[in-house]
Amino acid sequence: MKYKNILVTGGLGILGSSLIKNLAKYKPYNIYVLDRSKNLNKIKIIELNKIKKLKIIKGNFNDYRAVDRLVKKKRIDVIFHLGAITQVIDAYKSPYETFNSNILGTINILESIRNLNKEILLIFSSSDKAYGSLIGKSYLENHQLKGKYPYDVSKSASDLIVQSYVKTYNLKAGIIRSGNIYGPGDLNMDRLVPHVIISLLNNKRPILRSNGKLIRDYIYVEDVANAYISLMKKMLKSKNRLRIYNVGSKENLTVNNLVNLITKLIGLKNIKPIIKNSSKIEIYKQKLDYKKIKKEIGWSQKFDIKNSLISTIQWYEKNLNFFNGKII
């Protein structure tokens, strides 16, 4: 079977756009994105309009017929399912929408594969949140998935559902559970890194929902995109029907540590964040053990946090007018 047609859900997000740019370097691939808005300004700002082999199709992966029609018509060989409601606070405010998108949307993808072609490779984007509270030093891939709050549960459930379809219907899937992704191309101002950078570039105090003491793996988007592509290549050559990997980082920082580093790199001294401490549904500490993916696939983190944040800050400086609501 020749693999040449790739579908990316969530293709206009930070990870999706980085993944697409890297996939476009490989000549055999035609890349399709299913997106509900086809926002031209959004497409332009993340520079996907420059990729000739990319086609953005208006639609929603929550619509089974739209998914099935696209997979069948374009003869999709590989699906990167990245699309989801990704913010803990959004999931808290809208649990029904979160479960509908993150769980039912995933089932729609799986059902399409099951009914059309079980050799279609699915690469599914899970999360460290799927594990729930950390017991021990770090999460291992064989730890139970025990999400507690709406977002965490949506990732635990969808992760387990993917595994169930592989074991029950002999589908082929890879699952990646990553930490907190940052980098150029993130248009979601509710996320920590873009919010802090844009606030500071406008000489405003960033607002932290937490107490600043939460500990997370922060990982550059290019590292994560490389992990997804490495997993795809491995599975296309492998007879193994299911592979699950953590994608973590050497940088395990508190929110305060990260904010202070960004502030220092921008060159500010006197601006301190406003700490609301209003978020009561966050896991205190998360740390991923990622020895398995390094051993079996050869992936490793290549980008250090300081230089990655400098590149990220420069991207937001370049596009500051867009984020300040001005026409680009």
Mind telling me the catalytic residues? 151
Quote the CA–CA distance of 283 and 87 in Å, as a whole number.
13
Q: Tokens 């950078």 identify what position?
A: 197
What phi and psi, each to the nearest 5 degrees, are found at residue 81?
A: -95, 95
3-state secondary structure (DSSP) of residue 122:
strand
Element (H, E) at 315: helix 305-318
Contact 83, 32 (CB under 8 A): no
Contact 35, 59 (CB under 8 A): yes
What phi and psi, each to the nearest 5 degrees, are found at residue 14?
A: -60, -50
Helices (H), ranges, 7-63:
14-23, 40-45
Amino acid at residue number 320: L
DSSP label of 306: H
3-state secondary structure (DSSP) of residue 295:
helix
What phi and psi, each to the nearest 5 degrees, are found at residue 327?
A: -70, 135
The CA R_g of the chain, rounded to the nearest whole Å, is 19
**32, β-bridge pairs:** 7, 55
Quote the CA–CA distance of 119 and 75 in Å, as a whole number.
12
Q: Largest alpha-carbon pair distance within the chain? A: 59
Amino acid at residue number 246: N
Contact 259, 212 (CB under 8 A): yes
Amino acid at residue number 183: G
Quote the CA–CA distance of 83 and 172 in Å, as a whole number.
19
Q: Minimal CA–CA distance to 228: which of 209, 242, 247?
A: 247
